[in-house]
Structure 1
Amino acid sequence: MTSTQTTLSGTRQDPSLYPVLIEHDARYSDLDPSRRIGRDALVRWFEDARVAVERDAFGADLVARLQARVKLLLAAVRVDVIAPLRVAGRYRIGIGVSHIGVSSFTYAYAVFAGHECVATGESVSVYVEGDGPSPLPDQVRGALATIRVAVEPSERPDRGGARLVRENYPFRVDVRTRFGDLDTNRHVNNVKLAGWYLDGLAELHQDVLGYPTGGPLDGLSPSSLAVQYRAEVEYPNIYQLRVGVLDLGEDTVRYACGLFDGARCIGLAEAEGSHHAPGSDGGPVNIAAALDPFRMKG
C-alpha cells in the first residue's frame, strides 16, 4: 500500500487523485454467475480497503475494535460498475476521505484495471459511543485529514416516507439470518446485507421469468447498488426483504428495497440495471412489461 497526500482536482476516475492505492487480487469466489466480479464482492473489496487504511491511519486494528477503543459503524455504501471486472489480472483500489463531518466521515473509492477505472464507490462511517453517534476524536479527525481526496461526496437521496412502509413494496422475500453472517460486532456484516438485496432482486427476476433453471439472466444484474444501514440486523431472526420498481426507462430499471423487522424498517437500498438481456437461445428478452406490476406504492 502506498500513501501520499493530494489536493489534485479532476474526475474521480484518475488514479493519481487518490491518496492511497491498494493492490487487490481478484479471487474465483468473487465471481458471480455472469463470470464477472459481483457487486457484493466489490462491497467486500471496499471493506478490505477501509480496514487497511484505518489500521495504518489511526490504529483501528482488530484488537482495538474488540477492546472498543475505536467504534466505527458503517451507515451507507454504494457501488457503481463502469466496465466488466473479470477474475484475470490485478486491480488497484483507490481510497480517500472526501468529507469529514461532526460524527461521521465519507470515503470515496475507485477500482482500476491498469489505468482504466472499472468501478467507483462511496461509504459513510459513523463514530459511536454508548447508544449513539459521538463527535469524532481529534486523533481520528487529524488522521483522516491526511488522506483527503478532492472528490465531492454524492448527494444523499431522501429515502424516507413511503420507503419506510413495508406494504408499499409489492414483492416479498423472507430471509433467515445465519451464524456465518455475523461479524465481530455480533450483527450481520454489511457485505452479507448487500448480498441480501442482490438476492431479493434475483428472486424478483426469477419470478417474472418463471423460475428458470440456473437463476435469472446474467444481463439483469444491477450495475449500481446503494445501501443504507438503519439498524443492526441480529441473529437469530427472520426478516422480510421487500422490493419495488421505482422507475422504468427505455433501457434501465431502478429498484427500491427495504429490509423489515416486523413493520420496522431497518435497512434500505436502491439499485439500477437493465431490463433486457440475451436469452438462453440467443434471442433478446425484455422484462419491462413484466416488471410494471411491481411498481412501488405510496
Structure 2
Amino acid sequence: MTHTQLMLRPSDYPVLIEHAARYSDLDPSRRIGRDALVRWFEDARIAVERDVFGAALVGRMRLLLASVRVDVLAPLQVAARTAVGARIEAGQYRIGIGVSHIGTSSFAYTYGVYAGDECVATGESVSVHATAGGPAPLPEPVRDALKTLRMDAPEPTRLQRGPARAVREAYPFRLDVRTRFGDLDPNRHVNNVALAGWYLDGLAELHLDVLGYPTGGPLDGLSPSSLRVDYLDEVRYPGIYQLRVGVLDLDDASVRYACGLFDGPRCIGLAEAVGAHHLPEEDGDPGDLAVRLEPFRMRSV
C-alpha cells in the first residue's frame, strides 16, 4: 500500500465536493477510467482555487501542473454501490481534497474519492506557480489561503528515475502521437488530462501488440490500477511526439511500466503505471502474459 492509499475518512479532508459520474467517464470495462479520475481531480482543484484564492487572483496567476497520481482501490461505476452492496444514488461520488505541502513556488494536494463512506480511489498532485522566467515564489495571499486547506497527510512522492528514463532508445515500444486542437487548454498547451490519456493509450497499444491485436481492444483486466504522470515541459499544437513504453518490473501478479514522452530526442514527460498481468478466467486465456511482456523490458543505455 502506498501512502496515497492511506484509509482517510471523508471528514479528514478540509473540502468535500459532490461529483456525479457521467457515461462519458466510462472506459471499455464499464468503469470510471483513470483519465476521467485525473479530470475529476482537476475539476476539484480548480473549484477550490477559485473559492479560496478568488477569481481575480486566479485570473492573474499562472499555475502549472507538475505531476499527478491516481490509485484505484475499488471499481468505480456510474451506478455506485458501497462495499457491502448497499446502493447509493446512481453515479454520485464525493471528492475529498486538501493541501499536503506548501513549498517556495509549489504546493501539493491530496485527494480521496468516496462512494458513500468507502474510499474507492486516492491521488495527489503538485502545482507550480510560474512566470515567463520560470518558477516563481507563491504570492502571500495564495500562501495564506493554502494554509486554510492544510491537512495531516504525507508529502507528495517523487518519481524515482535514473538517467535512462530520459533516453528515447531505452524504451522498446514506440507510439507516435499527433496533437489535436481540442486537446489544448486556456494556456494554449495540451491539457494534463489529455496527456494522461496519451500514456494510457500507449499502454493499450502495447497490450494490443502483446495480444495480437484482438478485435475490440485489449482485455479489461490489463488497465493499470495506478498511474503517475510527471509533466516536464509544455506540449504544443501542432506537433507530432513519440510516446515510449517499457517494462520496469514483473512479479507473479503485476507489472510496472515506465513511459516517456519525447519531442525529438528531448524528454518532455514521464509516467509510471502498475497493473495486473494475471487475468480472470472469464476474460479468456491469452497465454502467459508475463512471458510475452519480457521482451519489452527497459534497455540499458
Specify the alignment match of 2:69 in structure 1. 78
Aligned-partner residue type, residue 257 of structure 1 = C
Q: Is the Cα–Cα contact under 8 Å of residues 279 and 285 in structure 1 kept in the other structure?
A: no
Match of 1:4 in 2: none
Which of these residues, 274, 277, 283, is aligned with residue 275 of structure 1? 277
Q: Choose the corresponding residue for 1:54, options 49, 60, 80.
A: 49
User: Secondary structure of 1:277's match?
Assistant: coil
In the TM superposition, what is the alpha-carbon distance from 1:154 to its structure 2 partner?
A: 3.5
In structure 2, C-alpha distance between the alignment counterparts of 1:213 and 1:280, rounded to whole Å: 17
Matched AA of 2:157: E
Corresponding residue to 1:26 among 21, 24, 41: 21
Of 7, 12, 15 in structure 2, the residue corresponding to residue 17 of structure 1 is 12
Q: Deviations over 1:145-200 (max 9, x none)?
A: 00111111243132241100000000000000000000000000000000000000
- Partner of residue 116, structure 1: 118
What pairs with 1:168-207 in structure 2 (closer than 5 Å)? 168-207=170-209
- Residues 81 and 37 (structure 1), Cα distance of their counterparts in 2 relative to 1, 3 Å cut: same
Secondary structure of residue in 2 paired with 1:54 = helix
List aligned pairs for 1:31-50, cutoff 5 A: 31-50=26-45
- CA-atom RMSD, angstroms? 1.6
Given the superposition, is the C-alpha separation of residues 178 and 103 from structure 1 closer, same or farther in structure 2, using an over 3 Å criterion? same
What SS does the corresponding residue of 2:110 show, helix, strand or coil? strand
Counterpart-to-counterpart distance in 1, 2:57 and 2:137:
18
Where does 1:240-251 land on structure 2 (aligned, <5 Å)? Answer: 240-251=242-253
- 1:277 to partner: Cα distance: 1.5
1:7 counterpart residue number: none
2:227 pairs with 1:236: no
TM value normalised by structure 1: 0.92
Q: Of residues 147, 159, 168 in structure 1, which corresponds to 2:149?
A: 147
Aligned amino acid, residue 202 of structure 2: G
Mind listing any 5+ residue stretches in structure 1 that lack a counterpart? 1-9
How many percent identity over aligned positions?
A: 72
Corresponding position of 1:291: 293
Tell me, yes or no, if the aligned pair for 1:245 and 1:296 is still in contact at 8 Å: yes
Superposed, which structure 2 residues align to 1:65-144 within 5 Å? 67=59, 69-88=60-79, 89=90, 90-144=92-146
Q: State the number of aligned residues.
A: 285
Distance 1:147 1:281, change over 3 A: closer
Q: Which residue of 1 aligns with 2:86?
A: none
TM-score norm. by structure 2 comes to 0.91
8 Å contact from structure 2 (residues 204, 218) kept in 1: yes
Q: Counterparts of 1:93 and 1:132 in 2: how far apart (Å)?
A: 31
2:21, 2:231 → 1: CA distance?
A: 26
Q: Which residue of 2 aligns with 1:3?
A: none
- 1:71 corresponds to which letter in structure 2? R
Q: Give the C-alpha shift of residue 35 in structure 1.
A: 0.3
Tell me the CA shift for residue 129 of structure 1: 1.5
Distance in 2 between residues matched to 1:282 and 1:223, nearest whole Å: 20
1:14 counterpart letter in structure 2: R
Per-residue deviation at 1:285? 4.6
Structure 1 residue matching 2:279: 3-state secondary structure: strand
Structure 1 residue 71: Cα displacement: 1.1
Moved more, 90-99 or 122-131: 122-131
Q: Distance in 1 between matches of 2:73 and 2:162?
A: 28
Counterparts in 2 of 1:211-230, with a 5 A limit?
A: 211-230=213-232
- Name the structure 2 match of 1:5: none
Alignment check: 8 A CA contact 2:125 2:156 kept? no
Compute the displacement of 1:131 (Å): 2.4
